[in-house]
Amino acid sequence: MRNLLAAVNPDGSNQIQLTPGGGGSDSTFSNLSSIRVSGLVSGAITLALVVAAVIFFFMLVIGGIRWILSGGDKGQTEAARSQITAALIGLVIVFAAWAIATLIGNLFGLGNIFGGQLALPTFTGK
Protein backbone atom coordinates (compact mmCIF):
# COMPACT_ATOMS: atom_id res chain seq x y z
CA MET A 1 0.00 0.00 0.00
CA ARG A 2 2.87 2.36 0.82
CA ASN A 3 4.29 1.80 -2.68
CA LEU A 4 0.92 2.59 -4.22
CA LEU A 5 0.68 5.88 -2.29
CA ALA A 6 4.25 6.74 -3.23
CA ALA A 7 3.34 6.20 -6.88
CA VAL A 8 0.31 8.51 -6.49
CA ASN A 9 2.10 11.15 -4.37
CA PRO A 10 5.83 11.42 -5.08
CA ASP A 11 6.36 13.35 -1.83
CA GLY A 12 5.36 10.22 0.16
CA SER A 13 2.34 11.78 1.90
CA ASN A 14 -0.64 9.61 2.73
CA GLN A 15 -3.18 12.05 1.32
CA ILE A 16 -4.83 11.63 -2.04
CA GLN A 17 -6.43 14.68 -3.61
CA LEU A 18 -9.91 13.77 -4.84
CA THR A 19 -10.96 17.25 -5.92
CA PRO A 20 -12.13 17.13 -9.54
CA GLY A 21 -9.97 19.08 -11.94
CA GLY A 22 -7.17 19.56 -9.42
CA GLY A 23 -9.23 21.96 -7.30
CA GLY A 24 -8.30 25.06 -9.26
CA SER A 25 -10.69 27.81 -10.25
CA ASP A 26 -10.94 26.31 -13.72
CA SER A 27 -12.32 23.05 -12.31
CA THR A 28 -15.26 21.51 -14.15
CA PHE A 29 -17.20 21.17 -10.90
CA SER A 30 -16.28 24.52 -9.35
CA ASN A 31 -19.80 25.96 -9.89
CA LEU A 32 -21.66 23.15 -8.11
CA SER A 33 -22.20 25.36 -5.07
CA SER A 34 -24.41 27.69 -7.15
CA ILE A 35 -26.99 24.97 -7.91
CA ARG A 36 -30.35 25.61 -6.25
CA VAL A 37 -33.44 23.43 -5.90
CA SER A 38 -35.45 25.90 -7.96
CA GLY A 39 -33.00 25.53 -10.83
CA LEU A 40 -33.23 21.75 -10.65
CA VAL A 41 -37.04 21.84 -10.61
CA SER A 42 -37.07 24.27 -13.53
CA GLY A 43 -34.71 22.06 -15.48
CA ALA A 44 -36.75 18.93 -14.71
CA ILE A 45 -40.00 20.60 -15.82
CA THR A 46 -38.38 21.86 -19.02
CA LEU A 47 -36.93 18.44 -19.75
CA ALA A 48 -40.29 16.74 -19.13
CA LEU A 49 -42.06 19.18 -21.46
CA VAL A 50 -39.51 18.73 -24.21
CA VAL A 51 -39.61 14.94 -23.93
CA ALA A 52 -43.42 14.94 -23.95
CA ALA A 53 -43.53 17.22 -27.00
CA VAL A 54 -41.07 15.00 -28.88
CA ILE A 55 -43.04 11.85 -27.99
CA PHE A 56 -46.32 13.38 -29.14
CA PHE A 57 -44.69 14.64 -32.34
CA PHE A 58 -43.47 11.15 -33.18
CA MET A 59 -46.89 9.73 -32.35
CA LEU A 60 -48.34 12.18 -34.84
CA VAL A 61 -45.84 11.19 -37.53
CA ILE A 62 -46.37 7.47 -36.93
CA GLY A 63 -50.14 7.98 -37.06
CA GLY A 64 -49.74 9.73 -40.42
CA ILE A 65 -47.59 6.92 -41.75
CA ARG A 66 -50.14 4.35 -40.54
CA TRP A 67 -52.89 6.29 -42.31
CA ILE A 68 -50.92 6.34 -45.57
CA LEU A 69 -50.12 2.64 -45.29
CA SER A 70 -53.69 1.65 -44.39
CA GLY A 71 -54.50 1.21 -48.07
CA GLY A 72 -58.12 2.21 -47.66
CA ASP A 73 -58.87 -0.37 -44.95
CA LYS A 74 -61.52 1.25 -42.78
CA GLY A 75 -60.30 -0.30 -39.50
CA GLN A 76 -56.67 0.69 -40.00
CA THR A 77 -57.63 4.18 -41.16
CA GLU A 78 -59.79 4.69 -38.07
CA ALA A 79 -56.98 3.45 -35.80
CA ALA A 80 -54.53 5.85 -37.45
CA ARG A 81 -57.02 8.71 -37.15
CA SER A 82 -57.52 8.02 -33.44
CA GLN A 83 -53.74 7.95 -32.92
CA ILE A 84 -53.36 11.31 -34.68
CA THR A 85 -56.20 12.75 -32.59
CA ALA A 86 -54.63 11.45 -29.37
CA ALA A 87 -51.26 12.91 -30.36
CA LEU A 88 -52.76 16.33 -31.10
CA ILE A 89 -54.71 16.35 -27.82
CA GLY A 90 -51.55 15.37 -25.95
CA LEU A 91 -49.57 18.11 -27.64
CA VAL A 92 -52.24 20.67 -26.72
CA ILE A 93 -52.16 19.45 -23.10
CA VAL A 94 -48.36 19.75 -22.94
CA PHE A 95 -48.33 23.31 -24.27
CA ALA A 96 -51.31 24.28 -22.09
CA ALA A 97 -49.38 23.00 -19.04
CA TRP A 98 -46.39 25.09 -20.10
CA ALA A 99 -48.56 28.19 -20.56
CA ILE A 100 -50.31 27.72 -17.21
CA ALA A 101 -47.01 27.18 -15.37
CA THR A 102 -45.53 30.28 -16.98
CA LEU A 103 -48.63 32.34 -16.19
CA ILE A 104 -48.73 31.22 -12.55
CA GLY A 105 -45.02 31.92 -12.17
CA ASN A 106 -45.47 35.45 -13.52
CA LEU A 107 -48.63 36.15 -11.51
CA PHE A 108 -46.93 35.27 -8.24
CA GLY A 109 -43.79 37.22 -9.08
CA LEU A 110 -41.62 34.15 -9.50
CA GLY A 111 -40.72 35.06 -13.04
CA ASN A 112 -40.81 32.50 -15.77
CA ILE A 113 -40.07 29.15 -14.13
CA PHE A 114 -38.38 28.08 -17.35
CA GLY A 115 -35.44 30.43 -16.95
CA GLY A 116 -36.43 33.80 -18.33
CA GLN A 117 -39.01 36.52 -18.02
CA LEU A 118 -42.20 36.56 -20.02
CA ALA A 119 -41.86 39.39 -22.53
CA LEU A 120 -45.23 41.02 -23.05
CA PRO A 121 -45.64 43.04 -26.24
CA THR A 122 -46.11 46.77 -25.79
CA PHE A 123 -47.51 49.47 -28.04
CA THR A 124 -45.32 52.54 -28.33
CA GLY A 125 -47.93 54.71 -30.10
CA LYS A 126 -45.67 56.02 -32.87
Could you read off the pLDDT of 26-77 as tens digits, one per residue?
556 666 667 777 677 777 877 888 888 889 889 999 999 999 998 889 999 9
Containing structural domain, residue 85? 57-110
What pTM was estimated for this model as a whole?
0.56
Tens-place pLDDT, residues 62-115: 999 999 998 889 999 999 999 999 999 988 988 888 888 778 877 877 665 655
| 6 or 41, higher pLDDT | 41
Answer whether residue 49 is part of any domain: no
- The structural domain count of the chain equals 1
Residue 3 lies in a domain: no
User: Are the C-beta atoms of residues 67 and 81 closer than 8 Å to each other?
Assistant: yes
Does 13 reside within a domain?
no
Q: Identify the residue with better confidence: 13 or 57.
A: 57
Examine residue 90 and state whether it is found in any structural domain, yes or no.
yes
Residues 6+ apart with CB under 8 A from 76: 66, 69, 70
